[in-house]
């Protein structure tokens, strides 16, 4: 049973079997002195009762399950009386010391510092995934445009005008630029807010596509030795060995690119040869590179983070046949 003692102006609880009539906090007590004497007599009786064989056995059985409580002996002093009136608060009532708080702050600071790089990496991953989805959507839009118009669209009129270039392409360079986002109804930006690039075979954009129209775009990669290998198309493109009608690519996070406002971003590297090739289509605007991303400037072709997709001739012709545009 839990009873209360009002000692030295404090209302505290102690875990003792005290009769309620011994409570010093009862209103109407003549004086604090008589209250204390009566409390001491009751406490003394409780201590004697607690030393009985039955109580000792009960305490032994409960020792492992119950927290240790205050033991009040027969030699009670003013200090022990004050202690008896103090509530057993337990370990969790203690506050933190300054040293403990300092350790906690150091640990929190280290955890926050360790999260900076992972957060940056997660942002890059999200930007790359967003770009991959945008490129896939554009490829589907190109197929839809071909089905509706019998040909592929020419590049955008400019970096700020998403309409299709009005004039026909007189050269491969004329058919290399930005995706005509307004004509296709697609996003014009990649995950890093750079304009999506587009290069199309002039014969596929100037007139209706036929079964004998020759595509001349190619895509290369590099093997483990750094040697350039054709990933799509080949050195010679003809009706027997078709190459790629169109290529769509993002210039990635680093180096090259054009902002939404049409501002060209400079190349910040002197070793990214394959990214340079994508910027100008290897001068002829027909050959492009697609590789796994790397920041190693010493590798053949240099660092690389461009994302490249292309429209295979077989898929385009099949879609045109299915839609009835080709026999």
pLDDT in tens, 69-117: 544 445 555 555 555 545 454 454 456 788 888 898 989 888 877 766 6
> 159-212 pLDDT, tens per residue?
999 999 999 999 999 999 999 999 999 999 999 999 999 999 999 999 999 999
Starting at the earlier edge strand, list the strands of the sheet with 287-289: 228-232, 218-222, 287-289
Residues 6+ apart with CB under 8 A from 20: 3
Contact 199, 217 (CB under 8 A): yes
Neighbours of 229 (CB within 10 A): 9
The domains of the chain are located at: 3-91, 128-323
pLDDT at 18: 44
> 219-268 pLDDT, tens per residue?
999 999 999 999 999 999 999 999 999 999 999 999 999 999 999 999 99
Is the pTM higher than 0.75? no
Higher pLDDT, 121 or 81: 121
Cβ-based burial of 228 (10 A; exposed 0-12, middle 13-18, buried ≥19):
middle
| Beta-bridge partners for 232 | 219
- Antiparallel, parallel or unpaired: β 228-232 and 287-289: unpaired
**Could you give the percent of the chain with pLDDT greater than 70?**
69
pLDDT at 58: 54
C-alpha distance from residue 23 to each of 20, 31, 46 (Å): 6, 13, 14
Cβ-based burial of 33 (10 A; exposed 0-12, middle 13-18, buried ≥19):
exposed
pLDDT at 101: 86
pLDDT above 90 (res 271): yes
Confidence of residue 24 (pLDDT cuts 50, 70, 90): very low
Confidence of residue 31 (pLDDT cuts 50, 70, 90): low
Higher pLDDT, 45 or 216: 216
pLDDT at 118: 78
Higher pLDDT, 217 or 53: 217
Q: Give me the mean pLDDT over the 50-69 stretch.
A: 56
SS3 sequence, the chain? CCEEEEECCEEEEECCCCCHHHCCCCCCCCCHHHHHHHHHHHHHHHHHHHCCHHHHHHHHHHCCCCCCCCCCCCCCCHHHHHHHCCCCCCHHHCCCCHHHHHHHHHHHHHHHHHHHHHHHHHHHHHHHHHHHHHHHHHHHHHHHHHHHHCCCCCCECCCCCCCECCCCCCCCCCCEEECCHHHHCCCCECCCCEECEEEECHHHHHCCCCCCCCCCEEEEEECCCCCEEEEECCCCCCCCCCCECEEEEECCCCCCCEECCCCECCCCCCCCHHHHHHHHHHHHHCEEECCCCECCCCCCCCCECCEEEEECHHHHHHHHHHHCCCC
326 is written with which tokens? 């080709």
């Amino acid at each position: 049973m839990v009873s209360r003692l009002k000692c030295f102006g404090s209302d505290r609880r102690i875990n003792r079997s005290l009769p309620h009539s011994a409570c010093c906090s009862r209103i109407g007590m003549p004086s604090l002195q008589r209250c204390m004497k009566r409390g001491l007599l009751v406490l003394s009786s409780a201590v004697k009762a607690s030393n009985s064989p039955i109580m000792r056995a009960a305490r032994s059985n409960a020792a492992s399950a119950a927290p240790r409580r205050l033991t009040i002996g027969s030699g009670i002093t003013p200090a022990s009386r004050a202690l008896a009136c103090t509530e057993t608060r337990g370990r969790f009532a203690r506050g933190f010391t300054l040293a403990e708080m300092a350790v906690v702050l150091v640990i929190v600071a280290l955890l926050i510092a360790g999260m900076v790089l992972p957060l940056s990496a997660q942002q890059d991953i999200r930007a790359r995934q967003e770009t991959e989805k945008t490129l896939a959507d554009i490829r589907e839009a190109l197929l839809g445009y071909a089905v509706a118009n019998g040909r592929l669209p020419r590049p955008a009129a400019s970096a700020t005008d998403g309409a299709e270039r009005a004039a026909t392409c007189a050269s491969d360079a004329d058919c290399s630029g930005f995706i005509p986002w307004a004509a296709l109804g697609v996003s014009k930006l990649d995950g890093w807010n750079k304009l999506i690039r587009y290069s199309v075979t002039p014969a596929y954009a100037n007139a209706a596509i036929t079964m004998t129209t020759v595509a001349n775009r190619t895509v290369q990669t590099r093997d483990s030795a750094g040697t350039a290998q054709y990933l799509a198309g080949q050195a010679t493109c003809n009706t027997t060995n078709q190459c790629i009608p169109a290529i769509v690519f993002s210039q990635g996070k680093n180096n090259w690119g054009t902002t939404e406002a049409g501002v060209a971003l400079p190349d910040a590297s002197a070793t990214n040869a394959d990214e340079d090739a994508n910027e100008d289509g290897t001068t002829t605007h027909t050959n492009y590179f697609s590789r796994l991303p790397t920041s190693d400037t010493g590798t053949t072709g240099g660092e690389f983070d461009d994302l490249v997709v292309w429209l295979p001739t077989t898929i385009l012709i099949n879609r045109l046949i299915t839609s009835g545009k080709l026999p």
